[in-house]
Structures are given as structure tokens and as C-alpha cells.
């Protein structure tokens, strides 16, 4: 195991993702509910960071803010120096489409489309020709080891196959950052290990990976990683 | 109480205007607060809260402005419907001149729509900058539009509550009919010169779009819409009605003429508003939108072609001109 636990702020140079004094508070029934509190985290290009914590610790909210899917209450999130937390939706979407691939716990596939079509979707607004799109889709399917199922409808896939399709979809636009939210929560142990093997390949390709999980399998990865424990909205 | 206020169309219209006004009032209060405290470079909780509020305000304004474009169509429809209960009125022309507020209200509505279109352009450019570069300009413009809408809101109620359904009004033939010896056309023009000017100005508008001469475009388009109004009322309209004595800008909104007024006037005003807004933002913000200029070209060309087609079809069918 080459992964290691770090407490407090993680400060590494050549940052792909920089988070400074990040806070996110939700308002519920007239009450303020602070979900993230003063998060500071710098993630180096090519690093694999695992956000570990129990449910409600703020992992998913942090991923959403990194992806620009949500806006913070205060603080900065910079992606390659670009403040995604301040960008208008149009630019945040553009940045996300180019630089960030997301993998979700529930896969979020279109069940009535086949694997290849699901993976094609992120490239539809890209302006690429059909031939270029097909080439990129084939590369992504091979990387995720799901090309043998490319014509199969998503509803007919197993959990592991669905997750690999989701990985291919996250990779197809060639993003440098991969964000995974509880990626193995719906997988059995064998498929979880297979998923981790794919992550290893992505790490070898130099992708920056951030995983929010409470799965103990991620405690003993066979490649370099940094575990960032979270509790009650803070990095501890 | 005035019976006009109890007609279905007027109730719906005034209720819709009231709801939109309340929404705009809320938007104005928040917008002013945001505008004076705005500092996009800050990452503080207050600035993030302002950005959320600004997003909400923009969404409200967009919704209300979209509804305002629909409401002017409904306003025309409503006053046309009132012609059934206002004695002497044959169409909206008689109803709009039923008191001293009507014509001013209609002109104000048309001016407001021009500024709304301008706001939409500024908003578009603002949303296409990473730092909301035009936020303050957009907010000031909205504050100004709100004042116009406030005036419009008061005039709406003043106008409808002041229509006396026991007092006869003039019909369109009396309002737009040619009095003996009097020339209703501007600059002392006759119909032939009016038409020559109409087509020349259209050509000038197209030329200024193609050559991107912004000032020339603004001048020629304002002149074009002015001349086009007279050309439609005093020449092309007679072919819509197929009656040389029927001169009215409003009757063509009626079912007998297949509601073609909405299409003709709609294309003219929408094309002009888009073109002028694009030209103003070109001069003001140094931003222009080429794709929307194409729409202007298509809309104004459609308007000119449709007007001309009415004359051509009539001539082909009957072998004579009116």
C-alpha cells in the first residue's frame, strides 16, 4: 500500500484543484445547516485523493462544488487556476465538459439507450464529426473494458457493466479530472475490485482522481493515493 | 363602476399586468440592493448571496419580459374585443381613442418593448462574460424600464376605467379616412412617393446591415418603421381589406382578415426592435450579435414581401390595382 492518510490541509505544488476557505451552508426550515466548514485542500495534477467519511460528512457536497454543479456559500474552488465557483453556468458547464468527468453511485445511465449511445452523449454538443465521435467513444469503451457490450441496452447490463459504461462516459471527452461519488456502493466485491483496477489504469494515464467513499476497499489501494478523512463538514 | 373593467378580457389583462408588476417590484428592490453592493472579485458569503439573488432577479425579469411580449398581443386582442361594447367602435382603433390615455398608452407599450429587447441583449452579453461585465449596465437599464412600466401600469388602469361605454367613439374610417383636401401622409408625400421611400428605406436598411454601418442602420430603420406604418395603413392595408376606402392599422387583427395584423406588425416591430437593440449595444457596449442581425434581415424582408404579396396577388386575381 502506497496510499497515506493526511490530516488537516493538504498542500502540494502544481495544483489541478485548489480549494480555499470553502464553506457551504444550506437553509432548511428557517435554520442554517453548515455542510462544509472552512475546507482547504490542494490536489496535484495526477494525484488520486480519496475523501473518506460517514454519510453526512460533506463528501458529495464537496464533489459537487469541485464540479461546479453547486455554488459555495463562501470560498474558492479553482480548476487549473480557473475559479469554477464564480463562473456563470455557461462557462462552468463548458469547463466541466472539457476538464471533468463524473462517475455516480447510481450510474445515471439512460436505460433505453445502448452502451455506445450513452457514452456518446457528452460529445453531442462538442461540434465533432460523427467519425471523430465514434473514434473517441471506441477509445473510452476500451479504457473502461466495456467495448464488448457496446450494442447492449443499458437496462440489460449488470451493475458492474453499468459502472464501466459510466466510466467510459466520464472519460470520453478526455477530461483530466475524474470525480467519483460512492462509485462502489452498488457493486459487489469483485466488481469493486475491477473498478479499482480501472482507476489504477486511469491514474497511470496521469488523470487527477477524486473519490468520495466510505468503502474500506479504498484504504488499501495498490497505487499512490491520499486519503482525506472528513467528518461533520471538515477535513480532520 | 365602469362596465369595461368587468369584461373578461380586461379582468384577465389587468390581473396579469398586476402580477407581473408585483414580481418586477420585488425584482427591483433586490436588484437595487445587489447593484450597490456588487463586487464580483470577492469570495465572501455576502457576495455569493448577492450572486444567488442576482440570478433569481434575472430569472424573474426574463419571465416577466417574455410575458410582456405576449401581453401586448393580448392587449390588442382585448381592446379589439371591447369594440363590441363601445358604441361606434368597429375595431381596436375606436377603442384606443376612446379617451386621452389610449394612444399614449399604446405608444408607451411599444417603447417599453424596445427597451425590453435592449435589456435582453445586454443580459445575453452579460451572461457570456466570465465576470458579469455588464451587470451594472443591465441593472441600471432595468431600473429605467421599471419606471416606464410603473407609468404603463398606472395608465392601464386609467385607460380602462375611463372608457365610457355610453359615449360613442369614432370608427377607423373616421379616424384614418381622408378628409377632403387634407393629406394624412407625412412630409406632404403622396402614395407614389410614400411607396418609393418605403422600398428605398428598406434597401438602405438591408445595405446598412450588410455593410455593418451602425449609425446609418439606426437612422434608416427608425425612418423605415415610421414610413412603413403609413404605407401599411394608407396603401397595403387596403389590399388586405380589399377595399380602397378601408384604412386602418387595427382591423387586420380581426378574424375576418385571418389575424394577419399580428404577423405583419409583429414581424415589423420585432425585426426593428432586434435590429435597434443590436445597433445600440454595438455603439454602447461594443458588442454585436451577427446571428440576430440575420434574423432582423429575415423579419423585415418577410414584412416587405408579405405587404407586396398582398398587392401582387390582388393584381393577378383582378387585373387592376385599387
**Pairing state of beta strands A4-5 and A226-231?**
parallel
Would you list the DSSP string of B82-146?
A: HTTTSTT-SSHHHHHTSSTTHHHHHHHHHHHHHHHHHHHHHHHHHHTSTT-TTHHHHHHHHHHHH
Residue of B nearest to A84 (CA): B130
d(CA B33, nearest CA chain A) in Å: 18
CB contact under 8 A, A74 and B48: yes
Grid coordinates representing B296 are 432582423
**Residues contacting residue A81 through CB under 8 Å, at least 6 positions apart:** A18
Q: Name the DSSP class of A88.
A: -
Give the relative orientation of helices B260-284 and B102-127 as an angle to the nearest 10 degrees: 50
Could you tell me the CA-to-CA distances from A2 to A24, A218, A220, B97, B280 in Å, in that order?
32, 12, 8, 85, 62
CB contact under 8 A, B52 and A71: yes
pLDDT in tens, B160-197: 998 988 888 877 766 676 555 677 788 888 889 999 99
**What mean pLDDT value characterizes chain B?**
90
The CA distance from B278 to B121, in Å, is 7
- pLDDT per residue, tens digit, chain A (236 aa), is 333 444 344 444 478 999 999 999 998 888 889 999 999 999 999 999 999 999 889 999 999 999 999 999 999 999 999 999 889 888 999 899 889 999 988 889 999 999 999 999 999 888 889 999 999 999 999 988 899 999 999 999 998 899 999 999 999 999 999 999 998 888 888 888 988 998 999 899 999 999 999 888 888 888 888 999 999 999 98
The CA distance from B109 to B105, in Å, is 6
Number of folded domains that form chain A: 1
Instruction: Give the CATH number, domain containing residue A135.
Output: 3.40.50.300
What pLDDT was estimated at residue A28? 85
Q: Which domain holds residue A191?
A: 4-235
C-beta separation of B220 from B204 below 8 A: yes
User: A234 by DSSP, 3-state: which?
Assistant: strand
Give the relative orientation of helices B290-318 and B260-284 as an angle to the nearest 10 degrees: 150
Chain B residues inside the 8 Å CB shell of A20: 43
pLDDT in tens, A142-187: 988 899 999 999 999 998 899 999 999 999 999 999 999 998 888 8
What pLDDT was estimated at residue A49? 94
d(CA B134, nearest CA chain A) in Å: 13
Beta carbon pairs, A and B, within 8 Å: 31
pLDDT in tens, B219-237: 999 999 999 999 999 999 9
pLDDT in tens, B121-159: 999 999 999 988 999 999 999 999 999 999 999 999 999
Radius of gyration of chain B measured on its C-alpha atoms = 22
**Helix (H) or strand (E) run with residue A51 in it:** strand A48-52
**Residues contacting residue A75 through CB under 8 Å, at least 6 positions apart:** A19, A20, A21, A22, A23, A38, A39, A85, B43
Question: Is B132 an interface residue toward A (CB < 8 Å)?
Answer: yes
Largest CA distance in chain A: 53
pLDDT at B85 > cutoff 90:
no
pLDDT in tens, A24-42: 999 888 888 999 999 999 9
Identify which has the larger pLDDT, B265 or A106: B265
Residue of B nearest to A76 (CA): B43
- Cell numbers 495498490 correspond to what residue? A222
**Burial class of residue A24 in the structure, from the number of CB atoms within 10 Å of its CB (0-12 exposed, 13-18 middle, 19+ buried):** buried
> Which residue from B239, B291, B243, B293 is spatially nearest to B271, judged by alpha carbons?
B293
The CA distance from A126 to A133, in Å, is 9
Chain A residues inside the 8 Å CB shell of B48: 71-74
Amino acid at each position: 500500500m502506497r496510499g497515506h492518510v493526511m490530516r488537516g490541509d493538504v498542500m502540494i505544488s502544481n495544483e489541478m484543484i485548489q480549494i480555499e476557505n470553502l464553506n457551504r451552508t444550506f437553509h432548511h426550515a428557517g435554520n442554517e445547516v453548515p455542510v462544509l466548514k472552512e475546507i482547504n485542500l490542494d490536489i496535484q495534477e495526477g494525484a488520486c485523493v480519496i475523501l473518506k467519511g460517514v454519510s453526512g460528512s460533506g463528501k458529495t457536497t464537496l464533489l459537487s462544488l469541485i464540479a461546479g454543479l453547486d455554488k459555495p456559500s463562501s470560498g474558492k474552488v479553482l480548476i487549473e487556476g480557473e475559479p469554477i465557483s464564480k463562473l456563470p453556468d455557461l462557462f462552468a458547464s463548458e469547463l466541466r465538459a472539457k476538464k471533468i468527468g463524473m462517475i455516480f453511485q447510481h450510474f445515471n445511465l439512460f436505460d433505453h439507450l445502448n452502451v455506445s449511445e450513452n457514452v456518446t452523449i457528452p460529445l453531442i454538443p462538442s461540434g465533432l464529426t460523427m467519425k471523430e465521435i465514434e473514434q473517441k467513444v471506441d477509445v473510452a469503451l476500451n479504457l473502461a473494458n466495456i467495448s464488448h457490450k457496446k450494442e447492449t441496452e443499458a437496462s440489460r447490463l449488470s451493475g458492474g457493466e453499468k459502472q464501466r459504461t459510466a466510466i467510459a462516459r466520464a472519460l470520453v471527452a478526455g477530461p483530466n479530472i475524474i470525480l467519483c461519488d460512492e462509485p462502489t456502493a452498488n457493486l459487489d466485491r469483485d466488481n469493486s475490485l475491477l473498478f479499482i483496477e480501472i482507476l489504477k489504469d486511469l491514474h497511470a494515464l496521469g488523470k487527477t482522481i477524486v473519490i468520495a467513499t466510505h468503502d474500506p476497499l479504498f484504504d488499501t489501494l495498490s497505487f499512490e493515493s491520499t486519503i482525506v478523512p472528513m467528518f461533520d463538514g471538515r477535513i480532520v | 363602476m365602469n362596465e369595461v373593467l368587468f369584461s373578461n378580457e380586461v379582468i384577465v389583462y389587468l390581473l396579469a399586468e398586476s402580477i407581473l408588476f408585483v414580481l418586477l417590484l420585488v425584482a427591483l428592490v433586490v436588484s437595487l440592493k445587489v447593484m450597490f453592493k456588487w463586487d464580483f472579485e470577492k469570495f465572501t458569503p455576502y457576495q455569493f448571496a448577492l450572486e444567488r439573488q442576482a440570478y433569481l432577479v434575472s430569472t424573474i425579469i426574463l419571465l416577466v419580459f417574455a410575458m410582456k411580449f405576449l401581453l401586448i398581443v393580448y392587449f390588442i386582442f382585448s381592446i379589439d374585443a371591447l369594440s363590441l361594447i363601445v358604441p361606434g367602435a368597429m375595431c381596436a382603433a375606436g377603442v384606443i381613442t376612446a379617451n386621452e390615455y389610449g394612444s399614449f398608452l399604446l405608444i408607451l407599450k411599444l417603447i417599453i418593448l424596445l427597451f425590453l429587447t435592449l435589456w435582453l441583449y445586454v443580459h445575453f452579453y452579460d451572461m457570456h462574460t466570465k465576470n458579469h461585465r455588464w451587470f451594472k449596465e443591465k441593472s441600471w437599464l432595468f431600473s429605467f424600464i421599471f419606471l416606464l412600466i410603473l407609468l404603463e401600469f398606472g395608465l392601464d388602469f386609467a385607460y380602462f376605467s375611463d372608457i365610457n361605454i355610453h359615449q360613442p367613439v369614432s370608427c377607423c374610417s373616421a379616424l384614418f379616412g381622408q378628409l377632403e383636401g387634407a393629406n394624412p401622409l407625412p412630409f406632404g408625400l403622396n402614395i407614389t412617393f410614400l411607396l418609393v421611400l418605403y422600398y428605398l428605406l428598406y434597401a438602405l436598411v438591408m445595405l446598412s446591415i450588410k455593410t455593418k454601418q451602425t449609425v446609418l442602420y439606426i437612422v434608416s430603420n427608425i425612418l423605415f418603421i415610421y414610413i412603413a406604418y403609413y404605407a401599411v395603413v394608407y396603401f397595403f392595408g387596403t389590399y388586405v381589406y380589399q377595399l380602397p376606402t378601408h384604412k386602418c392599422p387595427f382591423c387586420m387583427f380581426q378574424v375576418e382578415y385571418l389575424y394577419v395584423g399580428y404577423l405583419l406588425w409583429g414581424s415589423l416591430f420585432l425585426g426593428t426592435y432586434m435590429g435597434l437593440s443590436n445597433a445600440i449595444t454595438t455603439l454602447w457596449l461594443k458588442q454585436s450579435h451577427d446571428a440576430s442581425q440575420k434574423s432582423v434581415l429575415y423579419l423585415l424582408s418577410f414584412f416587405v414581401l408579405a405587404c407586396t404579396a398582398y398587392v401582387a396577388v390582388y393584381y393577378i386575381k383582378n387585373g387592376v390595382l385599387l
